[in-house]
Amino acid sequence: MMYGLLATGTLALSGAPGCAIQKKHVPDYDQDTPFILTHVNVVDVISGQVTPDAHVIIDSIGKIISMGQGPVELSPGHRVIDMKGRYLTPGLIDAHCHSTVSPVFAMRMADLVKHARQQKMNYVNTINSGVTTIRDMGAFTGMLRWFMRDIEKGRLPGPRVVYCNSILNVKGSHPEIPPSDVNFFARPASVFMGMMMSNFKGPDQLAYYLEENARGASFIKLTLDNKTIFCKKDPTLPVYSTKELDTIFGYAEKKGLPVVGHHHYVFGFDRAMEYPFHSIEHVVSDQYLSDAQVQRMADRKVAIVPTLTIAQSYLMEEAFDGIPAELKSDWVDDELKVRRHYFDMEAGNHCEPSLHAQNLAMLDNYKRYKQSSLFEHKKFLVNPELYFGMVNKGFANLKKMKDAGVLIGCGIDAGMPLNYFGGLYREFEIFQRLGFTSLEILQCATINNAKILKMDDSIGSLDPGKWADMVAFDDNPLRDVQVLRNPAMVFKQGQLMYSSRDLSGESAFSS
Ligand SMILES: [Zn+2]
């Protein structure tokens, strides 16, 4: 029985072996020749200037050589791609996601093949939405390596992946769900898939997991809260001891790895300010931060990836017969409207529709059970009040951070239920409703995220010497941020990864 299960799991998870996914609308042509984009409006995300009718020259390894206006001298080997007046931005970056995870509350045996496909589509939807680099914030490590190998070999269209392997946690802390309770094959298959959490108990295990997780990793991910996000009788969570944090930061310094911390509560925020955290993830939702707290964060140069989209996704109106007056606000009303529209009209483009429907059906449990008993019934639903708090208090806290000059990045925690890959624009549009300008939003998604990934010397803006990660749009995204929903062409490291139109027949793309 066990072997059968393993075989099924492994087969499904490797996603129908030999069946590569094609890049959408990209004809088969020799992508290793240097090329030049002509008649393109180049968006400088740092100054906000647009250079009209420009050209961009890219070398054969996928780096930008030069850019400019006016006549250009072509070497005979160059392919010329006429961009017909489109707007070119740097490839977008998603600084917080979980790419190996099928974004559901619970998995059913019968849906194994759907989940395997969804896990692959996480990467495809990402690249097709103009995102050329992701920061994976906790993965099934074995699976991550399969998918990265498939991306590298061209069998799976996907972004560049920066990762931490698994999350380094005190045993029993967030997210305190035993994986085998979500996913029936998690325990046996972890041999192949790897684990998403390294839950340590004692200094020896901590030392072991630090080394294990450092392999290939660009950072260390911790979780800082002392309280759960779930509907549960006892909300308290164990936290790292001071000694454990000293060990972790000592190791991080020795290896040159930045440390990033998950938090939803002011407890986690204050704790993060006592150590040299590089970024904190999500935003304080149980309290309005004081000016002094925010100033301290700015002074310590701690960046934030607020993932406000989770607040929108988890505005669980399903938990109430009518939303209690004390949770309501204009922000809540606006986000609820957008949430309903997204769930009904757009989510099906990003998640296998029957899996999305299962997620929505799961929300009926808010009324079926007493809230405090959901967890013990293995219904792992989040505490709705916390996320109403994230909209009301969290949004205000982020605005304060922006005014204090904190470096703000973006991501939507894709991979978590109801937060689907391909939906990074949801975060842009929340930022817009909060009063960010289009340029500021584009900066969050490019140069700011590149700094958060410590990769701003190679990605995040269109400059000679950087990778040719580029997205073309039919209109100017500085005029309207909604333009970012629909890329016309996506290049990663000089390779065309996606086109909204069929390019076969166009001479620039023939072999
Ligand atoms: Zn996350």
What tokens were used for 240? 């790292």
- Asked if residues 142 and 194 have their Cβ atoms less than 8 Å apart, the reply is yes
Compute the distance from residue 112 Cα to the ligand 1 centre, in Å.
23
Residue holding tokens 């004809």? 27
Compute the distance from residue 269 Cα to the ligand 1 centre, in Å.
16
pLDDT at residue 496 is higher than 70:
yes
Q: Which fold has domain 35-91+460-509?
A: Urease, subunit C; domain 1 (2.30.40)
DSSP labels, 78-91: -EEEEEEEEEEEEP
Sequence-ordered strand ranges (E) for 416-502: 470-473, 489-492, 495-499
Helix (H, G, I), strand (E, B) or coil at 94: strand
pLDDT band of residue 188 (cuts 50, 70, 90) is: low
Higher-confidence position of 497 and 375: 497
Q: List, in sequence order, every residue forming a beta bridge with 302; answer none if it has no partner.
A: none
pLDDT in tens, 447-484: 999 999 999 999 999 999 999 999 999 999 999 999 99
**CA quadruple 335, 338, 340, 346: dihedral positive or negative?**
negative
Compute the distance from residue 263 Cα to the ligand 1 centre, in Å.
10
pLDDT band of residue 13 (cuts 50, 70, 90) is: low
pLDDT at residue 279 is higher than 60:
yes
Cα 203 from chain centroid? 31
Name, in order, each residue with C-beta under 8 angstroms of 154's C-beta and a sequence gap of 6 or more.
20
Q: What is the DSSP letter of 496?
A: E
How far apart CA 391 and CA 112 sit, in angstroms, is 34
pLDDT in tens, 414-453: 999 999 999 999 999 999 999 999 999 999 999 999 999 9
pLDDT band of residue 179 (cuts 50, 70, 90) is: low
The fraction of the chain above a pLDDT of 90, given in percent, is: 82
Q: What is the DSSP letter of 351?
A: S
Alpha helices in 183-326 (DSSP H): 186-193, 203-214, 242-255, 266-272, 291-299, 308-313
Sequence-ordered strand ranges (E) for 433-486: 470-473
The fraction of the chain above a pLDDT of 70, given in percent, is: 94
How far apart CA 294 and CA 276 sit, in angstroms, is 15
Compute the distance from residue 414 Cα to the ligand 1 centre, in Å.
8
Helix (H) or strand (E) holding 162: strand 160-163
Compute the distance from residue 9 Cα to the ligand 1 centre, in Å.
24
Compute the distance from residue 262 Cα to the ligand 1 centre, in Å.
7
Compute the distance from residue 413 Cα to the ligand 1 centre, in Å.
5
* pLDDT value at residue 431: 98
For the chain, give every domain's residue range: 35-91+460-509, 166-409+425-437
Dihedral angle over CA of 42, 45, 50, 56, nearest 10: -20
Compute the distance from residue 96 Cα to the ligand 1 centre, in Å.
6
How far apart CA 433 and CA 417 sit, in angstroms, is 23
How far apart CA 232 and CA 244 sit, in angstroms, is 27
Query: Mean pLDDT across the stretch 233-249?
Result: 96
Compute the distance from residue 97 Cα to the ligand 1 centre, in Å.
6
Helix (H, G, I), strand (E, B) or coil at 211: helix
Kindly calculate the radius of gyration of the chain based on its CA atoms and give it in whole angstroms: 23
Name, in order, each residue with C-beta under 8 angstroms of 176's C-beta and a sequence gap of 6 or more.
228, 230, 237
Classify residue 140 as exposed, middle or buried by CB count within 10 Å of its CB (0-12, 13-18, 19+): buried
* pLDDT value at residue 185: 60
Compute the distance from residue 281 Cα to the ligand 1 centre, in Å.
8
Compute the distance from residue 137 Cα to the ligand 1 centre, in Å.
6
* pLDDT value at residue 4: 36
Compute the distance from residue 496 Cα to the ligand 1 centre, in Å.
29
Compute the distance from residue 32 Cα to the ligand 1 centre, in Å.
36
pLDDT in tens, 358-395: 999 999 999 999 999 998 888 999 999 999 999 999 99
Classify residue 289 as exposed, middle or buried by CB count within 10 Å of its CB (0-12, 13-18, 19+): buried
* pLDDT value at residue 5: 36
pLDDT at residue 173 is higher than 80:
yes
Compute the distance from residue 293 Cα to the ligand 1 centre, in Å.
23
Q: Quick one: which of 416, 427, 365, 391 has its CA closest to 175? A: 416
Residue holding tokens 């050589």? 65
Alpha helices in 41-163 (DSSP H): 112-128, 141-152
Higher-confidence position of 508 and 285: 285
Tell me if the pTM is above 0.85: yes
Q: Which fold has domain 166-409+425-437?
A: TIM Barrel (3.20.20)
Compute the distance from residue 286 Cα to the ligand 1 centre, in Å.
18
How far apart CA 304 and CA 95 sit, in angstroms, is 10
- Same fold flag, 35-91+460-509 and 166-409+425-437: no
Compute the distance from residue 476 Cα to the ligand 1 centre, in Å.
31
Compute the distance from residue 489 Cα to the ligand 1 centre, in Å.
28
Q: Quick one: which of 216, 220, 222 has its CA closest to 258? A: 220
